[in-house]
Amino acid sequence: MNFCSQCGAAAIELRVPEGDTLPRYVCAACHTIHYRNPKIVVGCLPEWRGKVLLCKRAIVPRLGLWTLPAGFLENGETLAAGALRETLEEAKAQVDIGELYTVISLPHISQVYMMFRARLASLDFGPGPESLEVRLFDEDDVPWGELAFRTITRTLRNYFLDRKLGGLRLHVSAIEKRATLKPELTGAA
Ligand SMILES: [Zn+2]
């Protein structure tokens, strides 16, 4: 951050404000403290007769890899509305949003994923501008080696495992930067 979004001054300092515990961007001109907090990524797992809907990404990062419809929650938007919007944008699909299914903290990139279960309302879907292809997959057909994000892999693995075990429940977890090196610290799937 170079300029203050409040007053426009090029007087941003990184320091711990009085009474605080973490360094913040503070404007030396107008004294506004510019807090920066995690972003929420919201999406869903659209189901249709045992199959799940995945989108092949047409954008970076992870272009050409498969994902569930998901994206950043907008200001003024509810979680369910965000999941609906992303699904419409990326898969041109109408869904009925169901229960919250996975919540995954990603502290190293300051994001929180919140994925809902959802039921496809019809087979009327197709690639939006951010997708190359949109398809339904059985568990055996899921391109496990070509999934775009670990959050998506975890959500899908939870889903198919829960189905086998006979009940879907909320999963709250975290993925740390070093998950592949120290899985015992992260509970990585
Ligand atoms: Zn300022």
- Residue 77 CA to residue 68 CA, distance in Å, equals 20
Buried b (16+ CB within 10 A) or exposed e, 164-179: eeeebeebebbbbeeb
- Predicted confidence (pLDDT) per residue in 78-94, tens digit: 999 999 999 999 999 99
* Ligand 1 centroid, distance to 33 Cα (angstroms): 9
pLDDT confidence of residue 177: 81
Give the Å distance between the CA of 10 and the centre of ligand 1. 8
0.85 surpassed by pTM: yes
CA of 169 to the centre of ligand 1 (A): 46
pLDDT of residue 142: 98
Check residue 178 and give its pLDDT: 62
The 10 Å Cβ neighbour count of residue 39 is: 12
The 3-class SS string of 128-180 reads CCCEEEEEEECHHHCCHHHECCHHHHHHHHHHHHHHHHCCCCCEEEECCCCCC
pLDDT of residue 180: 55
Residue ranges in the chain whose pLDDT is less than 70: 178-189
